[in-house]
Amino acid sequence: MSTVYRVTPPPENPELAGGVLAIDLKALADNWRFMADKAAPATCAATVKADAYGLGLEPVVTTLWAAGCRTFFVALPHEGAALREILPEAVIYVLDGLLQGQAAYYGEHSLRPALASLDEIREWADYCQTQQARLPAAVHVDTGISRLGLSEAEVRSLAESSALLGAFRVTLVMSHLACGDEPGHEMNEIQRKRFDVLRAMLPDAPASLANSPGTFLGEGFGYDLVRPGIALYGGNPFASRPNPMKPVVSLYAPILQLRSLAEGETVGYGATWKASRPSRIAILGAGYADGYLRSLSWPANDGPAQVCIGGSYAPVVGRVSMDTICVDVTDVDEDFLQRGVRAEIMGAHITVDEVAKWAGTIAYEILTSLGMRYTRLYAPADS
């Protein structure tokens, strides 16, 4: 039998941490209210998988519940069980569907699987019959993303099986947009039309198609329920439009050491950056073990990546290491260049989407990659 060991928690004292992750719960609540207003008359749920996108499940969901959110989406059943302990009355859907052999776990924690195959549906129906109860679940149909979801042929087969459909309650019919972050993309309308065809075959139930960007696509995409994720946490829901959301996350790392380099000296592994002038370099206490991705190394993607110290921007130079990054502070006011001063890696001056651009990725990956060594500080929603 395998042994389960406890994970070392981050220090509560920020002075003992390599970095500080500050989360503005008021901005989070404001973002949900903004999305709820956009979605009306549809209901606005919240996607809180992956520990609420790395920001902490309990503070995030209690804030959203206080703001008025009553329906939540997680990826895995153990995430749903943790959420159930925090919010006993919440409606909780599991996006990864019904894991094989685990129907009783879902039932024990009052979780609603997003059933994405006939095998899952049969297993959930069998479990419902053993419990002598028509338990709720979503039916997840594929409209073109070719990921999770029933095909049209499977939907037709399900529609013809009164025994399966009679065994449980369909409380949601859902699908997922492939190109919602590109409002003019033809796939959006293609998927909307396919969704209408497929849901018409199934029992009358609330429908959901829109994620964060889908919520902005207009009435035809809102249906009965929207389920934003990244937008709640301050990420831009669009690929090429200004971000309408409030920033939620700020990330700071301390200056561990300051160094003076002569022209021609190099920085970091591989000596990939060479000083073109006499330079001042600050070594910051965060690295790829903390979720500051190695792809942010000099020169980065459309970079260099930047941090902010005392209101001035400083480029990341050399390679990102496991525990440290180096930045060129030659042009930063000397008054701010002291050991222990915290540099802003992400926040008011540097958005999560800018960090994602420099890393050649998306805001989702940046947020969910933030490591466990940060002290997390939460500004309350009622501050």
Catalytic residues: 49, 269
Helix locations, 113-227, DSSP H? 118-131, 152-159, 162-167, 186-200, 219-222
* Distance of alpha carbon 237 from alpha carbon 210, whole angstroms: 12
Q: Identify which of 143, 153, 151 has the alpha carbon closest to the alpha carbon of residue 210.
A: 143
Burial of 246 (0-12, 13-18, 19+ CB in 10 A): middle
Q: Identify which of 94, 101, 58, 100 has the alpha carbon closest to the alpha carbon of residue 76.
A: 94
* Distance of alpha carbon 142 from alpha carbon 144, whole angstroms: 6
Q: Identify which of 189, 126, 171, 120 has the alpha carbon closest to the alpha carbon of residue 149.
A: 120
Scanning the structure block, which residue is given the tokens 């001042």? 280
Q: Identify which of 365, 259, 360 has the alpha carbon closest to the alpha carbon of residue 318.
A: 259
Residue 157 and residue 151 in contact, taking contact as beta carbons nearer than 8 Å: no
Residue 124's SS3 state is helix
156: its two tokens: 């037709």
* Distance of alpha carbon 210 from alpha carbon 46, whole angstroms: 11
* Distance of alpha carbon 138 from alpha carbon 98, whole angstroms: 10
For 61, the enclosing helix (H) or strand (E) is: helix 57-67
